[in-house]
């Protein structure tokens, strides 16, 4: 009798594991660089998006808080994310090297929908070769107001600068140094993609040729494409 009970319990446990394995989904894909070559040992991060449901009164309730994790690509650049419950996942690739820039920083983050027990294959993620863009701003007249300890600046003297990708994604540049009258900002950009400069300021800003740079508009053509390691843009504030 004890043997029968033990066998019955083992069957229940086995069926439970088998059912769980059958209901788990999978994402399969490849990580490539600018030239379409496979990237080995890249980091693929995934995050299950939170899910909401509505109660009897029509109010939204959090049904699933989601979770996140990561896997590494194989030598051939392929990856497999196993054991996924059904839902929607954001997936991004990051190069383990120093010059890699995730494609998610410059394109809308891919969202993959995984059904119950579904294997979603053919996902292609990119890791872009990056360069560091330095934006040197000549502020000889001291017009730029730097944030105080609480992050506040004078509205008429604020100066924010960043870059915008062709898909409209904005990335701010950070102030990294003050070199005499120059304030130096920096941001990583894709080496082989054109980006536009975006300035939010009430100050008059000119490029190195004395031309006025439009404010709160994308200024194309100021950031050269194809630099090997770094590129510098010179601006002047009055």
Main-chain dihedrals φ then ψ at residue 16, nearest 5 degrees:
-65, -45
All structural domains of the chain? 23-129 (2.60.40.10), 131-237 (2.60.40)
Indicate the helix (H) or strand (E) that contains 29.
strand 25-32
Q: How far apart are CA 218 and CA 200, in angstroms?
A: 10
102 DSSP 8-state letter: E
| Cβ atoms of residues 47 and 81 within 8 Å | no
What is the predicted pLDDT for the residue at 98? 54
Model confidence pLDDT, tens digit, residues 188-232: 888 888 889 999 999 999 998 899 998 888 888 888 887 777 889
Give the residue with greater pLDDT, 224 vs 78.
78
Q: Sort 112 into a burial class: Cβ within 10 Å, 0-12 / 13-18 / 19+.
A: middle
């Amino acid at each position: 009798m004890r043997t029968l009970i033990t066998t019955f319990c083992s069957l229940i446990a086995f069926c439970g594991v088998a059912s769980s394995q059958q209901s788990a989904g999978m994402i399969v894909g490849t990580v490539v660089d600018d030239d379409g070559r496979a990237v080995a040992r890249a980091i693929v991060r995934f995050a299950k998006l939170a899910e909401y449901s509505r109660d009897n009164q029509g109010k939204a309730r959090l049904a699933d808080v989601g979770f996140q994790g990561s896997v590494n690509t194989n030598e051939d650049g392929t990856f497999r994310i196993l054991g996924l419950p059904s839902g929607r996942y954001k997936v991004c690739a990051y190069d383990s090297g120093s010059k890699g820039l995730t494609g998610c920083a410059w394109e809308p983050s891919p969202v993959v929908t995984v059904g119950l027990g579904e294997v979603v294959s053919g996902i292609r993620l990119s890791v872009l070769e990056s360069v560091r863009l330095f934006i040197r701003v000549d502020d000889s007249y001291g017009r730029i107001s730097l944030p105080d300890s609480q992050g506040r600046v004078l509205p008429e003297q604020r100066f924010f600068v960043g870059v915008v990708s062709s898909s409209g994604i904005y990335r701010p540049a950070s102030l990294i140094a003050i070199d005499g009258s120059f304030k130096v900002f920096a941001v990583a950009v894709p080496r082989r993609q054109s980006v536009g400069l975006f300035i939010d300021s009430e100050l008059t800003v000119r490029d190195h040729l004395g031309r006025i740079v439009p404010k709160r508009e994308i200024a194309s053509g100021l950031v050269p494409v194809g630099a090997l390691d770094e590129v510098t843009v010179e601006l002047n504030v009055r």
